[in-house]
Amino acid sequence: MKHSLFISDLHLSADRPEVLSAFVEFLVTTAAHAEALYILGDLFEYWAGDDDLDDPFNRQVVAALASLRAGGTALYLMHGNRDFLMGKALASACGAHLLPDTSLIDLHGTPTLLMHGDTLCTDDTAYMAFRAQVRDPQWQQAFLAQPLPQRKAQIEQLREQSRLAQRQKTAEIMDVNAESVINTLRQRNYPRLIHGHTHRPALHVLEIDGCLCERWVLPDWYEQGGYLRCDEQGCAAIKI
């Protein structure tokens, strides 16, 4: 039966080679049999720009994805909050399509909304302000104009600031806002929703205006990892 797979929040980096190994095994043994693989953000711990494609670790990731695509599995990439600078050169090297955040697709007969998920976390006003800043095209142009080592140093500083800030935030603030979810689904005519970002894998079934909507939250790959498998009969969460 034709099926599609969804993953997010792998946060791949050279500091965690075991995750890359698990990811490559997943691509070869599982994703290779799927019609499509959707990566809904934060594939990388961070992405400093497409001129970092020559980095040895990044080359390994790109080669694994390109091999999957060459085998016939369609590949879709969505920006996350860590790798929003992924660009056309990276997508081309992988053979992937860059998907807008948000994207409404027909998934084996069911309207399905795909998001990274961070835009639903509207209670975290400090993050939302930061997100607006770094997603501004002028900010990105100025940032990418800097030398690559300088960009990486700035990203490391931002990551440390983020870690410190998260310690001061409640778990509720960093989760999705219920009204934001409802409004998003209502505006899109009550589709199924698949997203990542919160690292709280679960299936939530919501009744909105008399319509039942599934909200699938994808797992991160820090402790174990996993993916969502969807076909014409529905979706199932599967652990690695």
The continuous run of DSSP H or E covering 4 comes out as strand 4-7
Q: DSSP letter for 119, please.
A: G
DSSP conformational letter for 12: B
Listed in order, strand segments (DSSP E) in 81-121 are: 97-99, 103-107, 110-114
Q: How many CB atoms lie within 10 A of CB 49?
A: 19
Query: How far apart are alpha carbons 204 and 66 in whole angstroms?
Result: 34
Percent of all residues in the chain with a pLDDT value above 90, rounded to a whole number? 91
pLDDT digit string (tens) for 113-172?
Answer: 999 999 999 999 999 999 999 999 999 999 999 999 999 999 999 888 888 877 777 877
233: which 2 tokens?
Answer: 């009969």
Distance CA 143, CA 150 (A): 9
Question: What is the value of pTM for the model shown?
Answer: 0.96
- Spell out the alpha helix ranges (H) of 71-202: 88-94, 125-134, 137-144, 148-167, 178-187
Tokens of 16: 């965690």
- How far apart are alpha carbons 26 and 144 in whole angstroms? 32
Residue ranges of the domains in the chain?
4-239
Q: Per this entry, what is the length of the chain?
A: 240
Q: What is the pLDDT of residue 56?
A: 97
User: Given this model, what pLDDT does residue 160 score?
Assistant: 86
Residue 34 tokens read as 């799927």
In this model, does residue 231 exceed pLDDT 80? yes
The encoded tokens of residue 68 equal 């999957």
**Cα(58)–Cα(71) distance, rounded to whole angstroms?**
20
Task: Give residue 117's pLDDT.
Answer: 98
CATH 3.40.50.2300 fits 4-239, yes or no: no
